[in-house]
Structure 1
């Protein structure tokens, strides 16, 4: 399957759609940013896409085992088995492709494999495609390929379908964590991380979407901007300086207008 689409960064319109779907005001953007930050910290490093432009995923072998009625347990225990054994982030698509090939050989179609991975900014499981507003996991993946706007809206739809927008609006992080992360959420201090992230973001540390788009463009071009967080730290400054030198722009580490336009054009990003 083709997993590279338009791979566009999050826009103000996309963020606004997600907030509206959750019944949140624009001034409450820190709520959804806190969820994105905590949910992506271990998998996506703040971005819905990988360096190569494919959506961020995590393949879960215990889900694949369930989706295929354990038919591949003996043949491919690294793909079909108990919970755990996720492997490194770099191996996730290799596992997914292998699972797709197994399903194709058995005439199962792509759904069992696609349903067994979590996708994008919100790491929405493929088997939750309908709750996220899609007819199938394949349809969810098609949307995820094209941009973070679709990724964050899918997350918002999923949260709304599970009535998890209500604890978000109350800032009841424990209730939200229980519903989103499972009953063992406290073991990973998921609720505490959410609250801490929210307090920091609400104090005025919200991501700058233009800078965040530039970081994603730098990522695609191989300049290693660090975490995709919309904050201009030293790694982002170093990456900007490297790009400016390569593009023939005046040296520096700031994101001015000419640099932003050149960067987005070169990376094919249209925020």
Structure 2
């Protein structure tokens, strides 16, 4: 079964700057979109990208052939089940039936871009988009920005027209989950407090890969993050202390697997 495990590189300042520039918006607005869409993190603890498998999309792409035999992965909207591993399990079952349709029927990464929107995200095809998204959160964020711009939704973000953006990004039922209100709330929050520290956020994500639970991957170093840092240092004889620093970040980044994949999926 396909694992979808790549390097899992955390988001950095270059990725944020490029995405914000593509959209012509301040970082506060960009962070609002990221936070509301995936709680701010594009990878799970096993370095697989966050996904949500949409069984109604799989039904559409396979003409309902698997509705009876596999109702969990082919049917009416809904029936998602829990987030995380369960979504990859559903995706894996769908891939056994029809790989192309399955990958196109899942949303991927930070921005939860649907596989069938790969071209709008600047990629050749869904497989290529997923390959990029497995590699880094930068790729995920830039893909999301390209999708937003291709759909003409950047104009709504520039105007902070939250309902218009939510309608275009999440569909006409956006109000059920209050996407517009959540976006506005997060934008106001980021405008009135320090922005997430990307180095801290990277350390949090990388610590989660190592099995040390730092709490939310949010770029703010709270008590749980500090305890995780102290435990990692003690377990690996990597000095003492509970504060994040560049040396710790370098050590954690060095533990990521090498990346030998060709960077061919983006175009235009």
Shift of 1:250: 3.6
For 1:107, the equivalent position in structure 2 comes to none
Stretches of structure 1 lacking an aligned partner (at least 5 in a row): 104-109
Name the CA distance, whole Å, in 2 between partners of 1:183 and 1:123: 17
For 1:123, the equivalent position in structure 2 comes to 112
Q: 2:116·2:126 contact (CA, 8 Å) conserved in 1?
A: yes
The two structures have a TM-score, normalised by structure 1, of 0.91
Shift of 1:264: 2.7
Choose from 34, 42, 45 the match for 1:48: 42
For 1:141, the equivalent position in structure 2 comes to 130
Name the CA distance, whole Å, in 2 between partners of 1:137 and 1:237: 38
Shift of 1:175: 1.0
Name the CA distance, whole Å, in 2 between partners of 1:78 and 1:183: 24
Choose from 79, 87, 93 the match for 2:88: 93
Stretches of structure 2 lacking an aligned partner (at least 5 in a row): 260-268
Encode CA deviations 1:53-112: one digit per residue, 9 max, x unaligned: 111101111111111110111111111011111112221111111111112xxxxxx210
Name the CA distance, whole Å, in 1 between partners of 2:154 and 2:109: 19
Q: 1:40·1:47 contact (CA, 8 Å) conserved in 2?
A: yes
- 1:1-271 maps to which residues of 2 (within 5 A)? 1-24=2-25, 28-41=26-39, 46-89=40-83, 90-103=85-98, 110-267=99-256
Q: How many residues matched?
A: 257
> Deviation above 6 Å: which 4+ runs of structure 1?
none
Shift of 1:238: 1.2
Q: 3-state DSSP class of the match of 2:255? A: helix
Q: 1:8·1:269 contact (CA, 8 Å) conserved in 2?
A: no
Shift of 1:249: 3.3
Name the CA distance, whole Å, in 2 between partners of 1:229 and 1:269: 25
Q: 2:202·2:249 contact (CA, 8 Å) conserved in 1?
A: no
The two structures have a TM-score, normalised by structure 2, of 0.92
